């Protein structure tokens, strides 16, 4: 039996969500995006077909009701930023595309819909040879449609229309709270922000224990004198290829369900740890100002295999590390474990949020390059490992992360950045745990299990003035670095050991894995990370 498949997708989601510096608008935008394939699509489908099977793809993924029962429509799957719907009637399939597009213009202006319609045979849905071809043709058509036409989804600007100070678009709606006119895009985002928060509280109510998520960036709990936030973007490794390896619709459904559950469970476990720290470890209050109810974290996007959240500047890398370790322990429907890469951009609160997110996304992409290179290498016969990259923006920055590091993190002798770092997998000089061990030595902190507190453990602690001098000498080349390191050894202050490179503590430099013949120092990263990594939260670990 022939049926008609409709593939729905929206473009420019990140730009839509992170276009504003107002966290409420980001949250509302994310909520709108999440619901275009849930509540909005469900309402439209139920109007077209009262008997539509909307949830069966999740509850009975092995069954295809549209092929065996008297139904006019069924959801194939929803995930990865798109939705696949089946219809018996082509006219109804076309009508869905038209009504869904109109719905987006009204309820989520600014999002760009893309639609592809194809014909498939019911028997191909479970056929391991026919289904990949059918679904591949549909995605090819969707890609072609996106390239051939970009719909206008916002009101065009006119010379007699005021400009929205949130979006720069035409201001055609009056917002009573701000006593000003705003664009339709900003208005819908602000209207949806509370619903987004309520839904999030309900989803994680079992672990929140009455604590709440902040709705403004200034509610994250900045400590006095520190106005930095961490924008964290984490994305699963090779998920696109794993979905492409699915040979039937059932396999796609099962993988989509299990990956989403893994992401949500990992975040729930992170929340458990945060709540535990708040209730049992006073050290966490060194890194954020707690008002008694608001947590130092707020998720903005939580998709199938990716998540974006914000936190106080000094907690972002630590939270990302915890999430990635939890995520790597999850096994999904294809029988393999997961891995991920993260980018953490640490910026001023008032810095344009979208640019901060773009940097985090670029850092994540940079980590993925290393992760993929390691996995593809014949020398590493292990599963995908998880990697993290970070950037601390003390001042302004522009361009890609490659340009930023080329212009600002290259010394006279070599590369000042060893990052990205491996979070899960084998332990070597590229591991985040090794970098943290080095930070611990330089900072001179040790956990006292009797007093249950962190103390300076010996006189070999590096004074702040000497750490600043070390940072300067690393930019001046090998000879200056070696001379300063030798001088400090006479004063009984040595650099941390570097796994696989024992001579590094005397020279300051090792071979750069990214470029043959080049050098890189692992100590510059340690010095930067010392300022922001919450060492005191590693309570109970006598050896960090």
pTM exceeding 0.85: yes
When pLDDT is cut at 50, 70 and 90, the band that residue 150 belongs to is low
DSSP string, 103-159: HHHHHSTT-EEEEEEEEEEGGGGG-TTHHHHHHHHHHHHHHHHHHH-----SPPP-T
Pick the CATH number of 204-408 from 3.40.50.1950, 3.20.20.100, 3.30.70.270, 3.40.640.10: 3.30.70.270
Nearest to 97 by CA among 171, 160, 149: 149
SS3 495: coil
Nearest to 509 by CA among 490, 494, 524: 524
The tokens 């679904």 sit on which residue? 135
Check whether 469 has a pLDDT greater than 90.
yes
- 98: Cβ contacts below 8 Å, ≥ 6 apart: none
Check whether 228 has a pLDDT greater than 70.
yes
Sign of CA dihedral 348, 349, 355, 361: positive
Q: 156-170, 194-208, 246-260, 435-449: which has the minimum mean pLDDT?
A: 156-170
Summarised one tens digit per residue, pLDDT across range 209-222 is 999 999 999 999 98
- Assess contact for 341 and 364: CB atoms under 8 A: yes
Residues in the chain: 544
For residue 452, what pLDDT is reported?
60
Q: What integer is the mean pLDDT of 44-68? A: 87
Q: What integer is the mean pLDDT of 57-66? A: 90
The rounded distance, in Å, linking the Cα atoms of 162 and 158 is 8
Check whether 458 has a pLDDT greater than 80.
no
Nearest to 448 by CA among 541, 537, 535: 541
Check whether 380 has a pLDDT greater than 70.
no
Tell me how crowded residue 192 is: count the other CB atoms within 10 A of its CB: 24
More confident residue, 312 or 452: 312
Tell me how crowded residue 265 is: count the other CB atoms within 10 A of its CB: 14
Parallel, antiparallel, or unpaired for β 386-392 and 340-348?
parallel
- Assess contact for 298 and 30: CB atoms under 8 A: no
Q: How many CA atoms lie within 13 A of 264 on its CB side?
A: 16
SS3 56: helix
Check whether 485 has a pLDDT greater than 90.
yes
The rounded distance, in Å, linking the Cα atoms of 197 and 414 is 47
Summarised one tens digit per residue, pLDDT across range 163-199 is 777 776 778 777 777 777 887 778 888 888 899 999 9
For residue 184, what pLDDT is reported?
77
Query: Exposed, middle or buried, 149 (CB in 10 Å: 0-12/13-18/19+)?
Result: exposed
Q: How many CA atoms lie within 13 A of 222 on its CB side?
A: 18
Q: How many CA atoms lie within 13 A of 100 on its CB side?
A: 31
Check whether 235 has a pLDDT greater than 90.
yes
Check whether 376 has a pLDDT greater than 70.
no
The tokens 């995605």 sit on which residue? 139
Q: What integer is the mean pLDDT of 1-15? A: 87
Domain layout of the chain by residue ranges: 2-148, 204-408, 431-544
For residue 456, what pLDDT is reported?
61
The rounded distance, in Å, linking the Cα atoms of 75 and 8 is 11
- Helices 23-35, 184-203: crossing angle, 10 deg rounding: 80
Tell me how crowded residue 178 is: count the other CB atoms within 10 A of its CB: 12
- 2-148: CATH topology: Alpha-Beta Plaits (3.30.70)
Buried b (16+ CB within 10 A) or exposed e, 350-373: ebebbbbbbbbbbbbbbbbebbee
Summarised one tens digit per residue, pLDDT across range 385-411 is 899 999 998 766 667 788 888 888 888
Which residues, in sequence order, are bridge partners of residue 5? 86, 118
For residue 397, what pLDDT is reported?
60
Structure tokens at 68: 């065996």
- Assess contact for 370 and 43: CB atoms under 8 A: no
């Amino acid at each position: 039996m022939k049926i008609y498949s409709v593939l729905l997708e929206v473009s420019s989601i990140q730009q839509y969500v992170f276009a504003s510096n107002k966290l409420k608008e980001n949250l509302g935008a994310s909520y709108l995006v999440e619901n275009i394939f849930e509540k909005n699509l469900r309402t439209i489908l139920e109007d077209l077909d009262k008997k539509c099977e909307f949830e069966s793809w999740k509850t009975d993924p092995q069954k295809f009701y549209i092929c065996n029962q008297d139904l006019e429509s069924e959801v194939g799957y929803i995930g990865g930023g798109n939705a696949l719907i089946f219809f018996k009637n082509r006219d109804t399939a076309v009508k869905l595309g038209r009504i869904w597009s109109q719905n987006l213009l009204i309820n989520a202006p600014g999002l760009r819909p893309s639609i592809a319609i194809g014909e498939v045979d019911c028997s191909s849905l479970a056929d391991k040879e026919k289904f990949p071809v059918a679904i591949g043709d549909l995605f090819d058509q969707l890609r072609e449609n996106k390239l051939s036409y970009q719909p206008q989804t916002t009101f065009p600007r006119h010379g007699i229309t005021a400009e929205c100070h949130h979006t720069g678009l035409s201001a055609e709606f009056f917002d009573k709270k701000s006593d000003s006119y705003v664009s339709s895009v900003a208005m819908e985002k602000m209207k949806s922000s509370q619903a987004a928060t309520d839904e999030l509280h309900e989803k994680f109510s079992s672990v929140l224990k009455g604590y709440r998520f902040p709705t403004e960036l200034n509610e994250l709990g900045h400590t006095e004198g520190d106005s930095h936030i961490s924008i964290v973007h984490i994305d699963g490794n090779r998920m696109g290829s794993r979905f492409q390896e699915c040979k039937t619709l059932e396999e796609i459904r099962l993988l989509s369900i299990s990956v989403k559950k893994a992401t949500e469970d990992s975040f729930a476990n992170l929340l458990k740890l945060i709540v535990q720290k708040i209730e049992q470890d006073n050290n966490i209050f060194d890194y954020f100002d707690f008002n008694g109810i608001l947590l130092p974290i707020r998720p903005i996007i939580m998709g199938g295999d990716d998540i974006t959240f914000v936190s106080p500047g000094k907690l972002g890398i630590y939270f990302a590390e915890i999430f990635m370790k939890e995520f790597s322990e999850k096994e999904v429907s294809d029988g393999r474990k997961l891995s991920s890469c993260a980018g953490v951009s640490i910026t001023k609160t008032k810095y344009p949020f979208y640019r901060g997110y773009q940097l985090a996304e670029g850092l994540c992409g940079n980590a993925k390059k290393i992760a993929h290179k390691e996995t593809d290498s014949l020398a590493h016969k292990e599963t995908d490992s998880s990697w993290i990259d970070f950037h601390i923006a003390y001042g302004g920055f522009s361009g890609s992360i490659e340009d930023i590091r080329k212009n600002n993190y290259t010394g006279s002798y070599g590369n000042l950045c060893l990052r990205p770092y491996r979070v899960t997998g084998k332990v070597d000089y590229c591991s985040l745990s090794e970098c943290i061990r080095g930070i611990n030595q330089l900072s001179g902190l040790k956990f006292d299990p009797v007093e249950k507190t962190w103390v300076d453990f010996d006189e070999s602690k590096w004074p702040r003035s000497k750490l600043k001098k070390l940072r300067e000498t690393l930019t001046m080349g090998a000879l200056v670095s070696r001379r300063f390191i030798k001088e400090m050894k006479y004063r009984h202050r040595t650099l941390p050991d570097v796994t696989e490179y024992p001579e590094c503590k005397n020279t300051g430099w090792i071979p750069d894995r990214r470029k043959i013949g080049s050098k890189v120092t692992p100590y510059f990263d340690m010095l930067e990370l010392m300022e922001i990594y919450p060492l005191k939260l590693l309570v109970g670990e006598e050896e960090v």
